Each structure stands twice: as C-alpha cells, then as structure tokens.
Structure 1
Amino acid sequence: MKRIIYVFCTLFLWNCRESFQQNNLQNDISTSQTGKKIIGDDEKNKNLTPLDTSLYNQIILDLVHHKPDQKWPVKTPYPLPGALLPFHRIVAYYGNLYTSDMGILGQKPADAMLKKLMEEVDYWQKADSLTSVLPALHYLAVTAQHSPGKGKMYRLRMPDQQIDEVLDLAGKVKAITILDIQVGHSTLKKEIPELEKYLMMDSVHLGIDPEWSMKTGHVPGKKTGTMDAEDINYAIDYLSDLVKKHQLPPKLLIIHRFTKGMITNYKKIKTCPEVQIVINMDGFGFAAKKISTYRSFVAAQPVQFTGFKLFYKNDAKNPPHKLMSADEILDLFPKPIYIQYQ
C-alpha cells in the first residue's frame, strides 16, 4: 500500500498522537487488572487527559483515507476523556482457556501465547506507524452450549478464577481485556450484570456475539443467531451508566457480525460519549470473501468504528489462500481500528 504524506505533517501528527496516546495508555493501565488497586473517582478525574478534538478529527479522517462519503465517518458525539479509539489500534487474541477449539487463547501455553500476541502488535505497529497499537485479550466469559445445562439457558458462565487468570495474563503485557458474551437462550439483561465487578475496572471492556443469540429457540450452532438494536442499546446503556456512576474512561463494546440478519435495525443503535462501538467482521475464508463480508455487512451499515477478524487456521486452510496482510486490511474503507485473531 502506497501512501504519500508530507514529512512535516507526518511528524506533527505522530508527535501529537504519541503524546496523547502515552498519557491515555498510562491512565488506562494505572489500575490493577484484577482490581487489587482501585483509584478513587477524584484521582481518576485528575489523571484523565482532556480529549484533543482536533487530533480526534484528524485520525477519524485518516480512517476513511481522507475521502469522507455519505456514510463514513459516522457522526457521533465526541468520547469522554480517556477514550482508547481512535487513538489506538487494538490487536486482540480471542478464545477461552478451557479449549483450543475457540481460538488462539487456548491453543498455546500462556507465555508463548503472549509472546506471539506481542509479535502481532509489533507487526501492526510497523504497518501503520502513526497509530499506537494496544494489545488485548478477548476472552469468552460466557459461552454458548449445545446442551441446555442446569438453567436450560444453553450457555456456560466461566468461573471468576479463570477470568482473574486472564486479567493477570493481560497485566503482564499491559493489555486491555474484553469479556465476550454468547447468550445462547439467555439474554444480555441476565448476563451483563454478572460481569459488573469486572466491567468497573478501567481496562476491562465488553464483547457481545449475536451469532449465538438464539431467539428462535434453536440449539446454538444449528442456526445463526440475531440481536436487535434494542438488545445492543441495553448493553450500551448499561456500560454508559457504569461509566457515569463510577467516573470511568469510556468503555469499548465489540459486536461481532458476518451476516445481515445478525444485527437488525442498525440505524437505531445509539451512540454516546461513554461507550465506543466496534462492529467486528467475524467471517472466515479466503480474502475476497472476507472483504465482501466486510463491505456488505460492516461498511454498508455504519455504526461507529469497525473491526476485522483473522482466523489463523480457517483463513489459510485451502492453499493458495493465506492470512490477509496488514496492508490489505488497511486498504479497506473504512480502515478497521480493531483487529482480532482467532
């Protein structure tokens, strides 16, 4: 990917971003991942760097290759101070410690997994030197199940001990943590409050997966699920209330998508200063298929920010197909600000 940038502008933008990002990152990691150290509200407010709206606008424009159209960038309220996006590109490892089937998090010993994650962080930093890259562990805290279980909800909540272990791992590389929910036959109203003590931590955020929301009563995995704007707005309101009540930096909400039906009434999804929304392209396969999915179901139905998932195995299963490169992904319109590896 070729980009022509005047040297002065490049250096100016880099210096502005570096100063802003370093302050925000230090603020975000200042509290313990496991909550052992809690900073008081007054202290949090003093530590948060005021939002640089001029820089924010510059980066937003860069995400659309300086070619805004009728859909992008989306007009949304400015985030509160301490916002991660768009000042960082987040590179996340996804999965569950109990199994290797759900992603890279459960496929390697912890140290090896973290080492590989940081190699990907470095790779993306080199691909786009103007955007600071922040590592993340995207952990399946509630997993959909083929069997109903005790509550007949077709979902399994991970024990606190395992979530704490993931938070400790994230702390080793100064990563944020995203706790993901697959509701099965349950609902976000039942599942999100169970994670509140974690979501109150500065560096813990939320992911929700409509694929496994079985409103039709089907067994998870038998049919692709769905969530409506009403469901998503509940999650947004819940996070927004937490941020306001405890004076937290803005929360990320990652929403997976690879079909039209996974999200309904997208235009009714609300945006607010307390929550930053990412629609994450979750489909696997060869590059042309993934790009088509991104354009059809993420770019074509804008909400706020976009993400892109890469599957180490499934994307490269049939030669000559291989994992898409950073340059290929950064050529997309708009540029994804969240990158997830499974």
Structure 2
Amino acid sequence: MGERSTPTGGRARHGWVAALVVLLAGCTVSPPPPALAPQVSEPAYAVTVLDGDPAALATDTSTTLFASSPLAVLAAADDPAAQAEAGERATGLGVPLLLTGDPSAELDRLGATTVLPVGTGAEAWVAASGRVVTADDPDVTAPPARDVLVLTVDPTSPAAATARASGARVEAVTDPDPRIAPPPGLDPRPAHVVALGEGFGPAERLSARLDVAAGGSALPGGGQVLFPGHRMVALYGHPGVPALGVLGEQGIPESIARAQALAAEYQPVSDQPVVPAFELISTVADAGPGPDGDFSSEATVEFLRPWVDAAREAGVYVVLDLQPGRADFLTQARRYADLLTQPHVGLALDPEWRLGPDERPSQQIGAVGVEEINAVSTWLADLTRDDALPQKLLMVHQFRLSMIQGRERLDTSRDELAVLLHADGFGVPGEKLGTWAALHDGEPAGVDWGWKNFYDEDTPMFSPQQTLGVGPVPPVFVSFQ
C-alpha cells in the first residue's frame, strides 16, 4: 500500500486562503510549514507481548511502534467516548494516541511538540502541562503500511488505534491462543507480531502457537487444541487379536464405521463435538522375553501405518498405546516417531505393563516413576513443537494410585500437549465410581480425564448418559474394550 495522508482541517484551510490574499496584495509571508512526519520503529523482537492497564498499554504500543512523532493525540483514561473519537483521529493522522494519567515521558521520547486533546479531561491535562495545543488536524504524512501484525481481543482500544496509525495491520481475535482461532495473514508469517492485552504471553509460547496456526494442520473435528473443544470416543485393542480389545474384532473399514457409530451415540449427550478414535495397542506385553528380552512385542511402523493412514482419511484420531514390559516408555515411544509426527496421532502409556527387572506380565500390576513419564512428555512436546503440530494427546492409564509413583509431580506444563489420566478399572458401577473418585483425590494440576467401558467385564456397562454424568468433571476421552 502507498502512503496515507489526511487533508488539512477546515480552519487551517481558511488560514491558508487568507495568507494567499495577503500575498496577492503584495505582502511577504512565510511559505506554509511542511507536513509533519512521524517516524515508525521496528519492534525489537519477532514476537512482542504487551499488557497492562489501558494507559500503560497505549504508551507501550507507542514506544514499540513509533521512533518519534511531532504530534500525539490525547484522551482521558476515564472517558471512553473521547477515546473512541481520539482513536479515529489518531488513526487518520498516523500518530500515537496516549491517555492520561501522565503521558509526559512518552511525549518527551516522541519529541511531540504539539498535542491534539480530545475531550475535556485531555484538554484540562494539556492546559495544566503547558504543552502546545492544536485544535485542528494538521497536515501529517502518515506512515506507510508495513510487515507488522498486531493481535488484539479489543480492536477499539487506544493501543489498537496507535498500532493502526503506525501502519501495522491490526487483527481482532476471539481468543488469545491463535491455534483456537487463527488470524488471517500468517502465511507467510509476518516479520513482526505484536500482541496487545492479557492472555497472549509469554512471547516464546505465543511464537510457538503462531507457528502451529501458520502451518494450518488441523485435528480431526477441526481446530488445533484438543480440550476443550473435542470429546473422543475410541475403540481399544490390537489389530487382528480380538482377545486384546474390540478394535481387533474387525478390519480397518469396519473399525472406522464402528468407532463412528459409537461417537454418534455420545454426541446427543455431549456438550462438545465427539470425535471417533482408535486406541491402538502398539507394543503388547508378552509372556515370553522375545529376542530383545523385554517381554514386550513391538508392532512395526509398517504394520500400524495402514490403520493410521485410514484413520486420518476418515477423521479418526489415533492413540498409540504402549505396554513396555521391561523396556522403558521413552525407548518404545521413539520407535513410532514417524507416526507421531502426524497431526492426528497421540500417545498412551500403560503403567500396568511397566515391569521391573525380575517381573513378568500378568503376575503383578506394574508401576512407573513419574520421572519416566515426564521424560516422554518432554520428548513428545519437543517433537510436536519442532514440527509445528497441533496439540497432541499424552494419555496415562491408571486404576491404582501405586501405578504412578510421584504422580503429584506429573508435568502438565507443556503447551504442546494435553495430558490425560485414563481411569481404566472395570467391575460393577460402585467399584468403577470408587476407582474414579480415588484417582481424583489429590489429582495433579492441569490434567484432563478419560474413562474406559468394558463390554464383558462391566456389569452392567455404563450408558453414554451415565458415562458423561460422572463427576466432578465428565471425561473427555472414553474408550471401549
């Protein structure tokens, strides 16, 4: 876009007409003054997050986007009507809008020799400060458009007006997380992004979120954040082995149709869109040690890929479930890195089958230290970040508190992951609800919750209404075995 300019105000034009009359009468007058020329500055960082009360935010936006300006518009911090008018004038002129209390330091930094006050509060402040006042819009050469994107949840704010005045492109967003509502114009990503207001920061996190939003990859069911916004209903099992769960009772097309039918049963009682899913056992705890001695049989990527690819095409989410035997979870997770780089693939850890050096499957309930889970969390979050993927599910099964040692230290801090505890006990309703309540006692902060229904072992199996009726919060992931 080219430069923008604002016509001279009405009274100023009359002044130039009078001067012309005098000149024609033979008097010598000075030529009209040149247009004022604000100078913009590039933000210091590729991503900048500004926050604070409206006056502080307006000042910080001016400091970030303007190097100097001989004129600034001023409105009172307690006068919304004046701020709205002042925003229009500042945007039209291409100069900063500041607010009272005391904008003196920013006016001095800008070199603002003239102030245009809007509203009685601003006029009173300027009169008390002794600064030069202009009542008309002077001739100003506004800054041209430039490669700066400004995000705000309040596009009418004084800070947003200052951003527009600087030539930046201002986009209103409905949520500070751009993965939830990606703003336009992120492909290619602008050289500089400035976010105004609460909820956007810190800058490093916003930068990673912008990478995801710019990449455009979506989850099944849409969006780039798992919860809230989705609920998943999954078939659990290993392909071709009915004894390990209902997913193994039929082939790929039939499993997709069955998962979709289950999701449809839950949609009428769900307050979130229900997405069909596969919980695909990828490493199976084995009675024998196997060639590597870890008592776990690992499916190859090539064996699992047809299921993963067909699920992607059908809008089905996939969770790769690990039963590691005497191996550790991170070693097994790394086997499936290629599949986990797909946006619709997450990971599940099953501590029941995490065995000690002298333990064997089905002879005891396994357990894992939280440090091992956190190591997987770090690896999976880094993989998700490095590939700019939508948020990824990390699910941990539990039906006894002893299965996760040090659970209170479970790391849920990584923005790239939704960490979910999955209560997979079976039995009569009272037993299941007792397990559910016990697991919630002292739950780690920031976790989501999952629930498993068993066709054969539950007596009776919970209905969709009963499953989503458990408290204190309904599960966001429901699997069927």
Q: TM-score range by the shorter chain?
A: 0.7 to 0.9
CA contact (8 A) 1:23 1:49 kept: no
Contact 1:298 1:306 (8 Å CA) reproduced: no
Give the corresponding residue for 1:187: 328
**What is the root-mean-square deviation in Å for CA atoms of aligned residues?**
2.6
Q: Deviations over 1:185-228 (max 9, x none)?
A: 00123211111111111111101000000025210111000011
Q: Distance in 2 between matches of 1:241 and 1:115?
A: 33
Query: Closer, same or farther in 2 for the Cα pair 1:340/1:293, shift >3 Å?
Result: same
For 2:260 and 2:273, locate their aligned partners in 1 and report how far apart those are by CA, in whole Å.
13
Q: Which amino acid aligns with 2:431?
A: K
TM-score (structure 1 length as normaliser): 0.74
Q: Which runs of 5+ in 2 are unaligned?
A: 1-173, 183-208
CA distance in 1, matches of 2:385, 2:310: 28
Higher Cα Rg, which structure: 2
Paired letter, 1:307 = G
Q: State yes or no: 1:248 paired with 2:389.
A: yes
Deviations along 1:286-341, one digit per CA (max 9) or x if unpaired, are: 111111111112454244100000111111xxxxx321012222222121111011
**Structure 2 counterpart SS, 1:331:** coil
SS at match of 2:244: coil
Q: Aligned-pair distance for 1:45? A: 3.5
Conserved? CA contact 2:394–2:419, under 8 Å: yes
Contact in 1 for aligned 2:179/2:225 (Cα 8 Å): no
Distance 1:23 1:221, change over 3 A: farther
Map of 2:34 onto structure 1: none
Supply the distance in 2 between the matched residues of 1:226 and 1:262 (Cα, whole angstroms). 4
Q: Give me the whole-angstrom Cα distance separating, in 2, the residues matched to 1:210 and 1:307.
A: 15
Aligned counterpart for 2:438 among listed residues 286, 292, 296: 296
2:473 equivalent to 1:334: yes
The aligned residue for residue 408 of structure 2 is 267
Distance 1:209 1:222, change over 3 A: same
1:1-342 matches, cutoff 5 A: 45-48=213-216, 82-128=224-270, 130-215=271-356, 217-271=358-412, 272-298=414-440, 300-303=442-445, 304-315=447-458, 321-332=459-470, 333-342=472-481
* 1:145–1:220 CA contact under 8 A, matched in 2: yes
**Tell me, what secondary structure is at the counterpart of 1:152?**
coil
Question: Does the aligned pair in 1 maintain the 2:392–2:418 contact within 8 Å?
Answer: yes
Q: In 2, distance between residues paired with 1:137 and 1:267?
A: 28
* Aligned-partner residue type, residue 278 of structure 1: L
- By relative contact order (CA 8 Å, sep 6+), the higher-ranking structure is 1
- Say whether the 8 Å CA contact 2:351–2:368 is kept in structure 1: yes
Greater CA drift, 229-238 or 212-221: 212-221
Letter in 1 for 2:477: Y
CA contact (8 A) 2:179 2:212 kept: no
- Give the superposition deviation at 1:49: 9.6
Q: 1:326 is aligned with what amino acid?
A: P
**Structure 2 letter corresponding to 1:101:** A
- Name 2:110's counterpart in structure 1: none
- The CA distance in 1 between the partners of 2:310 and 2:181, in whole Å, is 22
CA distance in 1, matches of 2:180, 2:253: 25
Q: Distance in 2 between the 1:113 and 1:195 partners?
A: 22
8 Å contact from structure 2 (residues 351, 367) kept in 1? yes
- Give the partner amino acid of 1:328: Q
Moved more, 300-309 or 99-108: 300-309
Cα distance in 2 for residues equivalent to 1:190 and 1:172: 29
- The number of equivalent residue pairs is 273
Letter in structure 2 aligned against 1:45:
A
Q: 1:95 deviation in Å? A: 0.5
Q: Give 2:294's aligned amino acid.
A: M
How many Å separate the matches in 2 of 1:121 and 1:282?
Answer: 19
- Tell whether the 8 Å contact from 1:280 to 1:298 is kept in structure 2 after alignment: no
Percent identical = 24
SS at the partner of 1:125?
Answer: helix
TM-score, scaled to structure 2 = 0.53
Contact 2:296/2:323 (8 A) holds in 1: yes
Q: 1:177 to 1:185 in 2, by over 3 A?
A: same
Aligned to 1:56: none
Conserved 8 A contact 1:90-1:135 = yes
Deviations, residues 222-242 of structure 1 (Å, cap 9, x unaligned): 100001110110111011111
SS at match of 2:336: helix
